[in-house]
Chain A
Amino acid sequence: SQTIHQWPATLVQPVGSPLSLECTVEGTSNPNLYWYRQAAGRGLQLLFYSVGIGQISSEVPQNLSASRPQDRQFILSSKKLLLSDSGFYLCAWSVFPNTEAFFGQGTRLTVV
């Protein structure tokens, strides 16, 4: 069966520090991968998606970047965090674009 792992679960980082969140998927090949951000009491905002290794599309301009160094690995990064980067970050995968997505457990990031 397929599983998705996302870590860490919680993270407190100072303003200006770098960020690296990692997501891996097991049990499937060539998944579509997504990073979402969820502000408190709000819906999910799509940040990045990837249809293959090295292929990253960004939905909104921001202080973040994403990379896909391996087929089932998706990384969310920042060189210098801002207070506004705080939120709940979710990684997800799907077999095909715009179909049912399977989400990780999320990372709660607090920038202080």
Chain B
Amino acid sequence: GESVGLHLPTLSVQEGDNSIINCAYSNSASDYFIWYKQESGKGPQFIIDIRSNMDKRQGQRVTVLLNKTVKHLSLQIAATQPGDSAVYFCAENMGRGNDMRFGAGTRLTVKP
């Protein structure tokens, strides 16, 4: 089933502030996770990934944190910009076949 709630959570931040988007995943056997960004009317785009042998990975302005103990994943965006406004999805490798299971997403709105 869905690894996060059915309704799309929203997060509103001021331009320049840091954003933290959270995701709870369902399968303790999942060993690979991806964050995607989806702008309105477009397909999702890869942001950053992390494997379960790591607890932190950094990219350009983004950091993903993985807490396997509580099955929690977060995406931190530094100095959030208006172009960061989008829906952000986490996806987990369910450990079987080709099943990357997506969460419901979080809508990030950046206020100027």
Contacts and interface: CB of A to CB of B under 8 A. Distances in A.
Interface of A: 6, 32, 34, 36, 41-46, 49, 51, 57, 59, 90, 92, 97-106, 108
B98 A43 contact: no
By size class, the interface of chain B is 20 to 34
The prevalent SS among residues of B at the interface is loop
Given A43-B89, A100-B46, A57 B97 contact: yes
Contact of B46 (A44, A102, A106): A102
Contacts of B89: 43-44
A103 B47 CA distance: 13
A42 B6 contact: yes
The prevalent SS among residues of A at the interface is strand
Contact of B43 (A45, A46, A103): A103
B97 A43 contact: no
B102 A44 contact: yes
Contacts of A46: 98-101
